[in-house]
Amino acid sequence: MSIPYVSPQEFSAEILRHLKHSLGKDESHASVYDWRMSLSLALRDHVVDPWFASTRRTYEARGKRVYYLSMEFLIGRLIEDVAVNLGLDAVAEEALSALGQDYAAVVANEPDAALGNGGLGRLAACFMDSLSTLGIPAYGYGIRYEHGLFEQHFEDGAQMETAETWLAQRHAWEFERPEVSYPINFGGHVEEHEGKAVWRAGETVVASAYDTPVVGWQAQWANTLRLWAAKSTTAFDLDSFNRGDYMAASAPEALARTISRVLYPDDTTDTGKELRLKQEYFFTSASIQDLLRRFLSEGGDLRALPDFVAIQLNDTHPAIAGPELVRLLIDEHGFEVSQAITTARSCLAYTNHTLLPEALERWPEDLFIRVLPRHHRIIQLIEAAHIAATGSDIRILEHGEVKMGELAFIMAHHVNGVSALHSELVKETVFADLHSDYPGRIINQTNGITPRRWLYSCNPPLRELINETIGTTWPDDLQQLDGLSVHAKDPAFLDKFQAAKDANKTRLSNWLQARDGVSLNPDAMFDVQIKRIHEYKRQLMNLLETVALWNEIRENPNAGWTPRVKIFGGKAAPGYVVAKQIIHLINDAAKVINADPATREYLQIVYPENYNVSMAEILIPATDLSEQISTAGKEASGTGNMKFALNGAPTIGTLDGANVEIRDCVGAENFFLFGLTAAEVTARRAVPEYARRAVEASPRLARVLQQIEGGVFSSDDKTRYSGLVQGLINHDYFLVTCDFDSYFGTQRDVDKAFADKQAWTRMAALNTARVGWFSSDRTISGYARDIWKTPSLISARGSRQDVA
């Protein structure tokens, strides 16, 4: 496919045509919403041809397709993404300006599609972009949540949540597919008829498809993101209505829709909730039924399914795919048990994203039997086959629980971790026994990020500098950025690099001023920690360091401090009490510290509400220092760390997740390392009273804790943080206290380094130049080569065909 040229005049006409015929609006009455919809629909029109061509090519090739099953796709806005991949970004902007519209305002009118919580969901979105860019035939499968991740507001510094409503407006990018729907059964019981199991379901809902085309770089390929909405089998109960019972009349529809109503806002601990299990089965079953229908409609023989179908399980959430595929092969297609299990396993692979025990799902067995009685029996068969084959002690069903991690592992031909360190820890810890039962099954695929969104679109000044320095072919071959390295010695180049950073800092300042009335000192270091609020990510340690710094500036105001703006962003799961306290404390501390005239010049804390993908796109390019400070061994990979480095922000971080590989790439001298290693963390936990000892050994930390506990930041409620502080002193599972001094000291090294402007800029530029490896194109090529065995179907761009 090549992209046909469209002139701005032609594109204006296309926008106007949609304004009139799709929106039914006259130009003189059109709102920003109308313009945004018209622009989106005009762009979508240009996606359709490459999308159809890709589908045709896939059918002709009769090859393998990838099915990426994910509970979450954290997409964000799509206008710029689509415009950029179509090569129409400049045209769209010019066309809208010619119509008298402010392009940036129109783009900003699009609500974020927040169908995810954080890293895992955003990774899925980056993978969709790369699958299309690489020309690998693929479907993303997920849930079309009516309400995405909640909106966050602060009331007196405390987090409040309100429902997110992206679907209150029409979603411009999707195509409804009412003809593509599947029954999804729950409950009931299993009967035996002539040796055959028959599942008599207690309840049935319908999964109905909505397709969003995902176009890759330069529109060479487009895949489909198919999201399922739950509907009722009977839309309306007329008998109830006629009796005057209007609530009961709409009850079936309301009940069914509950399943796709809302994204669970906790990415670690929501297992155990019946609705969540139903959501997981709902979208997994619909997806498996859909891919089987596609395969059979092409005349496929199910015994050859693994040659045509690669199913990737994004975490354990779709782990029910194994039993579901086995069930369909046995119950509906007459397979023998062992043949069904072998066939299913040859199709399935599982990505593990965490070592946190609470994030590896386990379902109470009685709940599981109630919701999925047939699958429970199938899991017994899978477990028996596993024990027979390996003699293993590992069970899927144990202590009255169904262990989804073990199930996913046993039913996958490959299991991958998401960074080199994480994959090793998967082998050594959570899946040590299964690793010895199935040596070679665990492999690593270090995460990546799409450079189209996370550099090209979000950072125009740096994009232009890169284009003029090394040419324009880097967005789908990111290692070309290495060509910037030689320029990092050139003061003229460094000036331009710094000018790009400054422009982004100004853009952020203006945005914050307009949104929240907050002004930032543009000469200060922008020190940013944006991610979900979690104890292991240690936003608390960052805050403690900020308070310690405040103390020191007050005591010694003329010591030549490097001015800093500490920027926090992120949401806490609504039920995660400690995380919410940490948010409250950051906001409380901000109030006191920002009001202090003695330190105002040097230290400011900013915590904008409702961090999301679009906010990340403004914050990351403007960042000077990236905070990646998790307890070593706890962050599986991180992907924000990659985005910052790519946009020229050196990291202060621990040896955790992909930080390790980032540091290897950028060079130890361009990375601010501190803290205990994963092995030291484990050893330290064995030391009695390690936290208390750490506090006693650090007067600086002890003082900060006293201040917080004593109510310095909570004069309205002096005991507000006593639980939080005592928790640190007495437990501190995440070793905030133990790493504090090392962190504080390294931050002072950062201060000194930042003061040498040119050396700092050089470090920043070398970060950009050396992290091209973290493109999600590289990651997806790795999955395609090592796990899926799927070739690229794009012929134009040479090396693409070598992925398999």
Q: How far is the CB of 476 from ligand H53 (least distance, A)?
A: 22
**Measured between alpha carbons, how far is 101 from 28 in angstroms, rounded to an integer?**
12
**Measured between alpha carbons, how far is 796 from 2 in angstroms, rounded to an integer?**
9
Closer by beta carbon to ligand H53, 690 or else 733: 733
Which residue in 350, 342, 337, 332 sits closest to 303, CA to CA? 342
Closer by beta carbon to ligand H53, 636 or else 794: 636
The dihedral through the CA atoms of 462, 468, 472, 476 has a sign that is negative
Among 38, 232, 354, 747, binds ligand H53 (CB under 6 A): 354
Backbone φ and ψ for 548, nearest 5 degrees, come out as: -60, -40
Helix (H, G, I), strand (E, B) or coil at 585: helix
Among 8, 50, 323, 657, binds ligand H53 (CB under 6 A): 657
Which residue in 626, 617, 672 sits closest to 649, CA to CA? 626
Catalytic residue selected from 446, 450, 623, 639? 639
Does an H or E element contain 369, and which? helix 365-371
**Binding region for ligand H53 (CB under 6 A) out of 154-162, 280-288, 629-637, 759-767:** 629-637
Residue 631 corresponds to which amino acid? T
Closer by beta carbon to ligand H53, 402 or else 430: 430
Closer by beta carbon to ligand H53, 475 or else 638: 638
Helix (H, G, I), strand (E, B) or coil at 317: coil
Q: How far is the CB of 533 from ligand H53 (least distance, A)?
A: 13
Closer by beta carbon to ligand H53, 8 or else 118: 118
Q: Tell me 610's DSSP state.
A: S
Closer by beta carbon to ligand H53, 79 or else 402: 402
Among 277, 418, 466, 590, binds ligand H53 (CB under 6 A): 418
- 10 Å CB burial of residue 477 (0-12, 13-18, 19+) is middle
Closer by beta carbon to ligand H53, 409 or else 474: 409
Are the C-beta atoms of residues 804 and 786 closer than 8 Å to each other?
no
List the interface residues with ligand H53, window 46-65 (CB under 6 A): none
Catalytic residue selected from 403, 643, 720, 770? 643
Are the C-beta atoms of residues 579 and 572 closer than 8 Å to each other?
yes
**Binding region for ligand H53 (CB under 6 A) out of 39-47, 407-415, 631-639, 751-759:** 631-639
Let me know if 643 is a catalytic residue.
Answer: yes
List the interface residues with ligand H53, window 97-126 (CB under 6 A): 117-120, 123
Are the C-beta atoms of residues 620 and 122 closer than 8 Å to each other?
no
Q: Is 635 in the site for ligand H53 (CB under 6 A)?
A: yes
What is the contact mask toward ligand H53 in residues 726 to 765, using x (rule: CB under 6 A)?
----------------------------------------
Q: How far is CA 128 from the centre of its chain?
A: 12
DSSP H stretches of helix in 698-786? 699-709, 722-730, 736-755, 757-770, 776-783
Q: How far is the CB of 160 from ligand H53 (least distance, A)?
A: 23
Residue 264 corresponds to which amino acid? Y
Let me know if 532 is a catalytic residue.
Answer: yes
**Binding region for ligand H53 (CB under 6 A) out of 218-226, 228-236, 351-359, 580-588:** 351-359
Let me know if 634 is a catalytic residue.
Answer: no
**Binding region for ligand H53 (CB under 6 A) out of 130-138, 352-360, 379-387, 485-493:** 352-360
Q: Is 636 in the site for ligand H53 (CB under 6 A)?
A: yes
Closer by beta carbon to ligand H53, 138 or else 215: 138
* Count of Cβ atoms closer than 10 Å to residue 742 Cβ: 14
Catalytic residue selected from 537, 571, 580, 584? 537
Q: Is 637 in the site for ligand H53 (CB under 6 A)?
A: yes
How is 380-440 classified by DSSP, letter by letter? HHHHHHHHHHH-----SEETTEEEHHHHHHHT-SEEEESSHHHHHHHHHTTTHHHHHHSTT
* Count of Cβ atoms closer than 10 Å to residue 791 Cβ: 20
Task: Locate 350 and state its tokens.
Answer: 């599982």
Task: Locate 685 and state its tokens.
Answer: 């936990």
Catalytic residue selected from 532, 564, 571, 580? 532
Q: How far is the CB of 659 from ligand H53 (least distance, A)?
A: 10
**Measured between alpha carbons, how far is 756 from 380 in angstroms, rounded to an integer?**
64
Task: Locate 528 and state its tokens.
Answer: 């940013």
Catalytic residue selected from 36, 226, 231, 353? 353
**Measured between alpha carbons, how far is 481 from 485 in angstroms, rounded to an integer?**
8
Are the C-beta atoms of residues 347 and 325 closer than 8 Å to each other?
yes
Among 353, 386, 414, 453, binds ligand H53 (CB under 6 A): 353
Q: How far is CA 439 from the centre of its chain?
A: 29
Are the C-beta atoms of residues 671 and 650 closer than 8 Å to each other?
yes
**Measured between alpha carbons, how far is 326 from 346 in angstroms, rounded to an integer?**
12
Task: Locate 653 and state its tokens.
Answer: 């971080």
Q: How far is the CB of 639 from ligand H53 (least distance, A)?
A: 5
Closer by beta carbon to ligand H53, 267 or else 739: 267
Let me know if 353 is a catalytic residue.
Answer: yes
Closer by beta carbon to ligand H53, 341 or else 412: 412
Backbone φ and ψ for 458, nearest 5 degrees, come out as: -85, -15
Closer by beta carbon to ligand H53, 81 or else 635: 635
Provide the strand spans (E) within 510-602. Answer: 525-530, 564-569
Are the C-beta atoms of residues 50 and 220 closer than 8 Å to each other?
yes
Let me know if 639 is a catalytic residue.
Answer: yes
Q: Is 267 in the site for ligand H53 (CB under 6 A)?
A: yes
What is the contact mask toward ligand H53 in residues 289 to 318, using x (rule: CB under 6 A)?
--------------------------x---
Q: How far is the CB of 531 from ligand H53 (least distance, A)?
A: 9
Let me know if 317 is a catalytic residue.
Answer: no
List the interface residues with ligand H53, window 433-492 (CB under 6 A): 447
For the chain, first and last CA: distance in Å? Answer: 21
Q: What angle do CA 638, 639, 642 make, to 5 degrees?
A: 115
Q: Is 659 in the site for ligand H53 (CB under 6 A)?
A: no
Site residue total, ligand H53 (CB under 6 A): 18
Catalytic residue selected from 531, 571, 584, 663? 531
Q: Is 638 in the site for ligand H53 (CB under 6 A)?
A: yes
Residue facing ligand H53 at closest CB distance = 119
Contacts with ligand H53 by CB under 6 A lie at 117-120, 123, 267, 315, 353-354, 359, 418, 447, 635-639, 657
So which residues are the catalytic ones?
Answer: 353, 531-532, 537, 639, 643
